[in-house]
């Protein structure tokens, strides 16, 4: 919204104050002002009122005329002018030699064989309107030679406020409300609005108007007649133009002027079209043509202004084509009303049409404003056109009132909230300057919120704090730290585990951490041959490709791997992110935080890579939890899982995740030759594992004995179990030193390390244990390798 | 709010980290009320907004929010805290200024600007010659919000602030296109090693 | 007799100069100082001498024996040192001017920024709280003083529509 300092100065005396500084303070205390501030008229000088005394045709050019102009300097000036509207006796804005218009300095100028000693200006050239059809016609009485800037308010400072920062300040959508803020900031008095005394017209008949719907909070109207003047005063047009509106005709300009001045939108109807003014909604949808000749579909939730049962305008948004003021309109019904903000907002969305008026109605306007707006309108109108007659009394129906908001608080409350020293006097003064009724009794304040702030903005005590402090200025705050007792902060277990996992994977295994979206991608998954699992869906996804929430990170991660196959021959990625595993018994999402890791290699075999990954996970469990993992073969249930090499991961009894080779169909789509393996672990389950503590065991001072035995067996597990079952305290360590496959099958060589803390062991003792183990295994069908 | 992702069961993907506030108040209010332990918590997290994505807009991004609640937390404390904390985050002396901001869960609410990191406040293209960068919303926690968390707003006050972690990461590392962060592209993302 | 010792000494010196391997050296040691060595042999040939002559000659021979042992030991040292030097020189010079092979992983930049912020806050006594991504209307709006009538309505309508369309 554009604002004019001249207009603001109508209501508060700012002489002697630094206007730019005030605007800066306004930006900090009230609403954001855009960076560009326009000093209108600063680039104009030397333009005066002049009368065209003679007009002669140019001998050669049809468009050009040779003028003799009286610029009030005792002589007639020769001017060549190409405007179509020149005529003798016409007064215009004349730029003398030496005048400046923007970058141009006016000098004598040869034009088609004649010299022009000056330029007659159009309004556009002066910058006061868009009109460039002809030179400006000055109708006001002013002697020739009067500087046009003295005649009209061309000099002005215009600044723009970001509308978004006005969302909760319905009182700031007009210059008067803005002036109130400036008055409070400058410590100057706010002048009252000059309005007509409407009581004068009380004896006149009322307008036949009735509110038939509680979506209209207040409706005020009056009828006027005999508007003969059609052109608005220049200063009014200038202000409207500077504030971004185009001058149309007196009536339209006046309603716009009121809207920009008080923030109250108004509308004028041809009185014949609203003989029985009714405000209501209809039961069934219908078509309606608005002012702009567009046919719109109106539903049963849209409030309409009607003439009895005929819709005449969409309330708060736009008038109908039929209700327009036409040539032979003599009597007008002027509307000044307040409508339910939510309903207006919904209607503008439904109709996909927003206007300056509807924008304001959406903000919860103060219904107390409707009558003063009419009074102000009448005052300005009658000042401009004294022939205008008011032909009805003020007709006002106030259907829905806002409650008065009274707030009470004590000085302690203010001190505590603000943390600064601010005197009672300052508090009362500031609040009063903003229109609040503030009374102090002892240390207790009682405040009544003015109607224009009470519609939704100021409702609780904390809101009053904001009023006091923003005018006080946050720059003026003496800032200091809060003092709080010291307590050690306990780290969250899951978070600690998560950080450790990331550190190990990045630093020790050189994996790369990625993030991905929380939904499954139909197209991308399909391209890899992966099905999207049925799962809870988004209701308002922007595109059906992403409407299902993912149950696992792995498929998305595989897509990411595909995207990166050119990055390196070997790499690994991981993500700690969230998935939703359907709904639980309470119909709520079963959300899990998962760690997903995928390794990709063009140089290693799948077997090597699979063991790499398994070892990586074992290191995580060992390093973070001092615990071991066990793996159990499991059945594939997803399309990306290999049917043969897929294992559940356990830590003790607890299932924490799975590890698998990627299904060849999927793997080949990612890369024809690469080995790709993945694992996914539930972070909460992993974090919950009891941390086995490290127990120091003193190494024996006596030599250890290593015995290697080879067994023929596909799996290590039975061998390991047999050794464990021996429960021999002399066994210090067991490791697999070799695996070998030949015609006899697969054989595994284990090395058992024996040790005694107090003496050297004998061969007999250790062999006895070995024999026992061998016997155990023979019983389950596993024999030593010959 | 029209840009919130809703799920079929009526739940939604959180559009702001503020969603954690209520649970945090409930978790720590007993320690506050019974033992006088001030509530001091930060909660980073991922947020979702149903928006079209482009170089500056994403539908999936990170925020970090913080609250502090105690008996006498004031606006003055808030300003001090933000200034101190942001100077640490950016590793230089930062000036802050508050402008009125409207957020339903704080009152008063502010937009906090910091002095431009590039020009220090002189004015340069990065800050559109204003000398200031708009950084984060903050304010005093709305009494209704404290009440909903089981804390008496007559006894206790607090401040809250929200930092855009995604934006912070982009500012700190000079990432120009926000979509890079969720792209999964190793060419972009493998460049970030520990820089503590 | 004196000539003999001198002759032997000179011979030994010459031979030692020609030695290039430890094995050769050992041969010479045996040849001169072994059980049947030349110098040892000299002592044996002393039995026909007078007591006076035995004394002088004996001294000379012992001197020679010691000198020879020293020379051989010294030569042995030399050979060892030459061997080590040879080993050292045969090693190629490793070119560290080649760029290092940096095998490193990476954190997501959000993780880095988040950790930096967390560190600052933890140092000021703040706890770090994690929260779910799926939340309820109450958590995201109502409890935050954001009235949500509109959204409830939209949601309900959409849920009903979805259920009906299945």
CB–CB contact C133 A578 (8 Å): yes
Say if residues A166 and A1 touch (Cβ distance below 8 Å): yes
C-alpha distances (whole Å) from B52 to each of A126, A463, A543, B57, B61 are: 43, 35, 11, 7, 13
Element (H, E) at A38: strand A33-40
Say if residues A557 and A516 touch (Cβ distance below 8 Å): yes
Name chain A contacts of C110, Cβ cutoff 8 Å.
515
Which 3 state secondary structure label does DSSP give A697? Answer: coil
Q: Is residue C164 pLDDT above 80, yes or no? A: no
Which tens digit of pLDDT belongs to each residue from A47-60? 999 999 999 988 88
Say if residues B77 and B69 touch (Cβ distance below 8 Å): no
CATH code: domain A493-688 is 3.30.930.10
Q: Which of C3, C15, C4, C6 is nearest to C44 (CA)?
A: C4
Which tens digit of pLDDT belongs to each residue from A329-350? 788 899 999 999 999 999 998 8
Which tens digit of pLDDT belongs to each residue from C36-49? 888 878 777 777 77
Element (H, E) at B141: strand B132-141
Name chain A contacts of B109, Cβ cutoff 8 Å.
466
Give the count of alpha carbons within 13 A of A582, CB side only.
4
Looking at CATH, the fold of the domain delimited by A406-476 is given as Phenylalanyl-tRNA Synthetase; Chain B, domain 1 (3.30.56)
Classify strands A277-280 and A406-410 as parallel, antiparallel or unpaired: unpaired
User: Closest-CA residue in chain B for C124?
Assistant: B40
Q: Which residue has the higher pLDDT, B1 or A193?
A: A193
Say if residues C126 and A489 touch (Cβ distance below 8 Å): yes
d(CA A466, CA A434): 12
Model confidence at C85, pLDDT cuts 50, 70, 90, reads very high
- Give the closest of C107, C125, C137 to B12, CB-based: C137
CB–CB contact B143 A478 (8 Å): no
Name chain A contacts of B11, Cβ cutoff 8 Å.
588-589
Q: Which of B98, B107, B1, B106 is nearest to B51 (CA)?
A: B1
- The shortest C-alpha distance from A209 to chain C (Å) reads 32
For domain B5-183, the CATH superfamily is Bira Bifunctional Protein; Domain 2 (3.30.930.10)
Q: Which residue has the higher pLDDT, B62 or A324?
A: B62
Q: Is residue A550 pLDDT above 80, yes or no? A: yes
DSSP string, A656-694: EEEEEEEPHHHHHHH-SS-EEEEEEEEHHHHHHS--PPP
What pLDDT was estimated at residue A196? 92
Question: What is the percent of chain A with per-residue pLDDT over 90, rounded to a whole number?
Answer: 74
d(CA A7, CA A305): 32
Name chain C contacts of A580, Cβ cutoff 8 Å.
134
Which of C131, C149, C158 is the best substitution to test chain B (most B C-beta atoms within 10 A)? C131
The arrangement of strands across the sheet holding C127-128 comes to: B96-100, B106-115, B132-141, B157-164, B60-70, B39-48, C127-128
Answer whether the bond into residue B108 is a cis peptide, omega within 30°.
yes
Q: Which of A222, A497, A172 is nearest to A372 (CA)?
A: A222
Say if residues A537 and A507 touch (Cβ distance below 8 Å): no
CB proximity B182 to A under 8 Å: yes
Q: Which of A373, A380, A398, A273 is nearest to A333 (CA)?
A: A273
Which 3 state secondary structure label does DSSP give B163? Answer: strand
Q: Which residue has the higher pLDDT, A352 or A153?
A: A153
Say if residues A276 and A264 touch (Cβ distance below 8 Å): no
A198-398: CATH architecture: 3-Layer(bba) Sandwich (3.50)
CB proximity A509 to C under 8 Å: yes
Which tens digit of pLDDT belongs to each residue from B50-109? 988 898 899 999 999 999 999 989 999 999 988 888 888 888 888 888 888 888 899 999
All structural domains of chain B with their residue ranges: 5-183
- Beta bridge partners, B64, equal B44, B163
CB–CB contact C105 A539 (8 Å): no
The residues, ordered by sequence, that sit 6+ positions from A515 with a Cβ below 8 Å of its Cβ are A575, A577, B60, B181, B182, B184, C108, C110
CB proximity C91 to A under 8 Å: no
Which tens digit of pLDDT belongs to each residue from A509-519? 999 999 999 99
Q: Which of A66, A70, A65 is nearest to A53 (CA)?
A: A70
Which tens digit of pLDDT belongs to each residue from A403-435? 999 999 999 999 989 988 889 999 999 999 999
- Give the closest of A35, A484, A588 to B129, CB-based: A35
Rg, C-alpha atoms of chain C: 48
CB–CB contact C116 B144 (8 Å): no
Quick count: other Cβ atoms within 10 Å of Cβ A458? Answer: 23
d(CA A461, CA B154): 11
What pLDDT was estimated at residue A365? 93
The residues, ordered by sequence, that sit 6+ positions from B26 with a Cβ below 8 Å of its Cβ are B149, B150
CB proximity C110 to A under 8 Å: yes
CB proximity B73 to C under 8 Å: no
Question: What is the percent of chain B with per-residue pLDDT over 70, rounded to a whole number?
Answer: 98
Element (H, E) at C154: helix C149-165
* Angle (nearest 5°) at CA C47 between C45 and C50: 120
d(CA B163, CA C121): 13
Name chain B contacts of A35, Cβ cutoff 8 Å.
128-130
What pLDDT was estimated at residue C163? 44
Structure tokens at B167: 């934006």
Q: Is residue B196 pLDDT above 70, yes or no? A: no
d(CA A482, CA A496): 28
Which of C105, C109, C131, C151 is the best substitution to test chain A (most A C-beta atoms within 10 A)? C105
Model confidence at A304, pLDDT cuts 50, 70, 90, reads very high
What pLDDT was estimated at residue A118? 92
Say if residues A662 and A558 touch (Cβ distance below 8 Å): yes
What is the overall mean pLDDT for chain B?
A: 90
CB–CB contact C130 B45 (8 Å): yes
Q: Is residue C148 pLDDT above 70, yes or no? A: no
C-alpha distances (whole Å) from A116 to each of A72, A77, A82, C30, C70 are: 17, 8, 11, 131, 125
In terms of C-beta distances under 8 Å and separation of at least 24 residues, what long-range contacts does A697-702 make, across chains too? Answer: A698/A757, A700/A755, A700/A756, A700/A757, A700/A758, A702/A755, A702/A756, A702/A757, A702/A758, A702/A759, A702/A760, A702/A761
Cα torsion angle, C118, C123, C126, C130, sign:
positive
CB proximity B20 to C under 8 Å: yes
d(CA C20, CA B51): 86
Q: Which of A313, A370, A320, A364 is nearest to A342 (CA)?
A: A364
Q: Is residue C166 pLDDT above 50, yes or no? A: no
Which tens digit of pLDDT belongs to each residue from A476-504? 888 888 887 777 887 889 999 999 999 99
- Beta bridge partners, A37, equal A159
Which residues 26-55 of B have a C-beta within 8 angstroms of A? 36-38, 40, 46, 48, 50, 52
Quick count: other Cβ atoms within 10 Å of Cβ A139? Answer: 11
What pLDDT was estimated at residue A594? 97
CB–CB contact B44 C116 (8 Å): no
Q: Which of A683, B161, B12 is nearest to C133 (CA)?
A: B12
d(CA B71, CA B155): 6
What is the overall mean pLDDT for chain A?
A: 92
Say if residues C1 and C57 touch (Cβ distance below 8 Å): yes
Which of A495, A535, A541 is the best substitution to test chain C (most C C-beta atoms within 10 A)? A495
Name chain C contacts of A589, Cβ cutoff 8 Å.
134
C-alpha distances (whole Å) from B189 to each of A137, A678, A681, B141 are: 67, 20, 23, 37
What pLDDT was estimated at residue C151? 53
d(CA B33, CA A16): 54
Which 3 state secondary structure label does DSSP give A534? Answer: coil
Model confidence at A328, pLDDT cuts 50, 70, 90, reads confident
Structure tokens at A525: 């998954």
What pLDDT was estimated at residue C43? 76
Q: What are phi and psi of A674, to 5 degrees?
A: -70, 155
CATH of A44-154, one of 2.40.50.140, 3.30.413.10, 3.40.50.170, 2.40.30.10: 2.40.50.140
- DSSP secondary-structure letter at A252? H
Name chain C contacts of A687, Cβ cutoff 8 Å.
none
User: Mean pLDDT across the stretch A38-66?
Assistant: 91
Classify strands A209-211 and A277-280 as parallel, antiparallel or unpaired: parallel
Name chain B contacts of A560, Cβ cutoff 8 Å.
184
Which 3 state secondary structure label does DSSP give B130? Answer: coil
Model confidence at C162, pLDDT cuts 50, 70, 90, reads very low
Which tens digit of pLDDT belongs to each residue from A579-637? 999 999 999 999 999 999 999 999 999 999 999 999 999 999 999 999 989 999 999 99
* Angle (nearest 5°) at CA A143 between A140 and A146: 95
All structural domains of chain A with their residue ranges: 2-40+157-186, 44-154, 198-398, 406-476, 493-688, 705-779
d(CA A771, CA A766): 9
For domain A705-779, the CATH superfamily is Ferrodoxin-fold anticodon-binding domain (3.30.70.380)
Question: What is the percent of chain A with per-residue pLDDT over 70, rounded to a whole number?
Answer: 100
- Give the closest of C115, C129, C155 to B20, CB-based: C129
- The shortest C-alpha distance from B62 to chain A (Å) reads 11
Q: Which residue has the higher pLDDT, A785 or A136?
A: A136
Classify strands A630-633 and A705-712 as parallel, antiparallel or unpaired: unpaired
Structure tokens at A329: 């309109």
């Amino acid at each position: 919204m554009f604002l004019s300092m001249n207009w603001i100065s109508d209501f508060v005396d700012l002489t002697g104050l630094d206007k730019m500084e005030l605007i800066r303070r306004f930006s900090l205390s009230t609403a954001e002002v855009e960076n560009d501030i326009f000093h209108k008229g600063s680039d104009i000088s030397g333009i005066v009122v002049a009368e065209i005394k003679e007009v002669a045709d140019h001998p050669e050019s049809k468009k050009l005329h040779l003028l003799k102009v009286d610029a009030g300097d005792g002589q007639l000036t020769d001017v060549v002018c190409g405007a179509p509207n020149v005529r003798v006796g016409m007064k215009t804005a004349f730029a003398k030699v030496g005048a400046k218009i923007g970058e141009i300095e006016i000098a004598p100028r040869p034009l088609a064989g004649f010299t022009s000693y000056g330029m007659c200006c159009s309004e556009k050239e002066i910058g006061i309107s868009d009109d460039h059809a002809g030179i400006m016609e000055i109708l006001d009485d002013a002697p020739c030679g009067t500087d046009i800037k003295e005649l009209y308010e061309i000099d002005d400072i215009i600044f723009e406020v970001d509308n978004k920062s006005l969302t909760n300040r319905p009182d700031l959508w007009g210059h008067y409300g803005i002036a109130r803020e400036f008055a409070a900031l400058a410590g100057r008095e706010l002048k009252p609005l000059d309005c007509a005394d409407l009581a004068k017209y009380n004896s006149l008949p009322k307008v036949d108007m009735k509110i038939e719907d509680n979506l209209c909070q207040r409706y005020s109207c009056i009828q006027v007649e005999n508007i003969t003047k059609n052109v608005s005063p220049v200063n009014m047009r200038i202000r409207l133009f500077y504030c971004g509106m185009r001058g149309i005709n007196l009536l339209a300009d006046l309603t716009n002027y009121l809207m920009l001045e008080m923030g109250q939108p108004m509308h004028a109807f041809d009185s014949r079209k609203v003989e029985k003014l009714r405000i209501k909604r209809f039961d069934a949808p219908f078509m309606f043509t608005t002012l702009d000749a567009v046919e719109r579909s109106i539903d049963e939730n849209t409030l309409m202004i009607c003439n009895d049962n005929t819709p005449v305008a969409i309330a708060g948004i736009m008038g109908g084509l039929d209700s327009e003021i036409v040539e032979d309109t003599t009597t007008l019904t002027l509307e000044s009303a307040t409508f339910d903000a939510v309903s207006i907002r919904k209607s503008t969305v439904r109709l996909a049409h927003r206007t300056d008026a509807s924008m304001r109605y959406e903000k919860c306007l103060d219904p107390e404003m409707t009558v003063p707006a009419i009074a102000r309108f009448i005052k300005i109108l009658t000042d401009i056109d004294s022939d205008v007659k008011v032909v009805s009394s003020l007709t006002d129906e106030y259907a829905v009132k806002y409650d008065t908001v009274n707030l009470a608080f004590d000085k302690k409350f203010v001190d505590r909230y603000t943390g600064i020293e601010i005197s009672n006097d300052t508090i009362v003064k500031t609040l009063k300057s903003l229109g609040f009724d503030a009374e102090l009794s002892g240390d207790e304040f009682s405040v009544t919120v003015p109607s224009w702030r009470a519609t939704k903005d100021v409702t609780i005590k904390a809101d009053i704090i904001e009023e006091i402090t923003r005018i006080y200025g946050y720059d003026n705050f003496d800032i200091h730290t809060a003092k709080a007792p010291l307590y050690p902060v306990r780290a969250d277990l899951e978070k600690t585990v998560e950080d450790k996992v990331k550190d190990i994977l990045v630093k020790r295994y050189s994996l790369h951490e990625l993030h991905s979206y929380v939904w499954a991608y139909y197209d991308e998954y399909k391209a890899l041959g992966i099905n999207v699992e049925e799962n809870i869906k988004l209701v308002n996804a922007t595109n059906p490709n992403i409407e299902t929430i993912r149950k696992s990170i792995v498929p998305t991660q595989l897509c990411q791997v595909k995207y990166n196959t050119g990055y390196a021959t070997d790499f690994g990625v991981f993500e700690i992110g969230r998935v939703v595993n359907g709904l639980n018994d309470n119909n709520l999402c079963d959300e899990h935080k998962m760690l997903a890791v995928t390794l990709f290699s063009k140089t290693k075999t799948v077997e090597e890579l699979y063991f790499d990954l398994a070892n990586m996970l074992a290191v995580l469990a060992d390093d973070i939890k001092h615990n071991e993992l066990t793996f159990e073969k499991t059945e594939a249930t997803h399309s990306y899982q290999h049917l043969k090499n897929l294992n559940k991961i356990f830590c003790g009894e607890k299932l924490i995740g799975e590890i698998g080779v990627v299904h060849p169909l999927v793997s080949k789509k990612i890369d024809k030759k690469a080995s790709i393996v993945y694992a996914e672990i539930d972070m909460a389950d992993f974090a919950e594992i009891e941390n086995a503590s490290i127990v120091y065991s003193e190494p024996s001072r006596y030599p250890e004995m290593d015995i290697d035995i080879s067994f023929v067996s596909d799996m290590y597990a039975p061998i390991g179990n047999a050794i464990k079952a021996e429960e021999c305290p002399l066994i210090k360590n067991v490791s697999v030193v070799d695996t070998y496959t030949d015609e006899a099958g697969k054989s595994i060589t284990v090395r058992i390390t024996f040790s005694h803390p107090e003496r050297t062991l004998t061969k007999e003792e250790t062999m006895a244990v070995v024999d026992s183990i061998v016997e155990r295994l023979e019983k389950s069908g596993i024999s030593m390798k010959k | 709010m029209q840009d919130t992702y809703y799920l079929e069961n009526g739940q939604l993907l959180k559009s702001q980290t503020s969603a954690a506030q209520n649970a945090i108040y409930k978790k720590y209010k007993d320690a506050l009320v019974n033992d006088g332990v001030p509530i001091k918590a930060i909660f980073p997290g991922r947020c979702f907004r149903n928006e079209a994505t482009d170089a500056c807009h994403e539908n999936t991004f990170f925020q970090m929010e913080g609250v502090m609640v105690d008996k006498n937390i004031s606006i003055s404390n808030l300003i001090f805290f933000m200034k101190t904390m942001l100077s640490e985050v950016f590793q230089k002396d930062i000036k802050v200024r508050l402008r009125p901001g409207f957020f339903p869960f704080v009152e008063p609410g502010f937009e906090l600007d910091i002095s431009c990191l590039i020009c220090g406040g002189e004015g340069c293209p990065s800050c559109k010659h204003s000398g200031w960068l708009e950084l984060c919303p903050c304010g005093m926690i709305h009494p209704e919000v404290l009440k909903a968390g089981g804390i008496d707003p007559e006894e206790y006050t607090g401040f809250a602030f929200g930092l855009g972690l995604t934006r912070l990461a982009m500012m700190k590392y000079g990432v120009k296109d926000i979509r890079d962060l969720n792209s999964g592209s190793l060419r972009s993302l493998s460049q970030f090693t520990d820089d503590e | 007799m004196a000539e003999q010792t001198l002759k032997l000494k000179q011979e030994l010196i010459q031979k030692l100069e020609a030695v290039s391997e430890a094995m050769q050296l050992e041969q010479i040691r045996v040849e001169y100082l072994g059980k049947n060595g030349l110098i040892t042999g000299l002592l044996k040939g002393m039995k026909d001498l007078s007591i006076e002559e035995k004394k002088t000659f004996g001294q000379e021979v012992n001197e020679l024996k010691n000198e020879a042992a020293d020379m051989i030991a010294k030569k042995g040292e030399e050979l060892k040192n030459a061997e080590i030097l040879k080993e050292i020189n045969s090693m190629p010079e490793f070119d560290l001017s080649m760029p290092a092979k940096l095998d490193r992983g990476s954190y997501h930049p959000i993780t880095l920024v988040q950790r930096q912020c967390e560190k600052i806050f933890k140092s000021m006594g703040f706890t770090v709280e994690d929260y779910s991504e799926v939340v309820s209307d109450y958590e995201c709006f109502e409890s935050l003083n954001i009235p949500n009538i509109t959204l409830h309505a939209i949601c309900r309508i959409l849920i009903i529509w979805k259920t009906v369309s299945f």
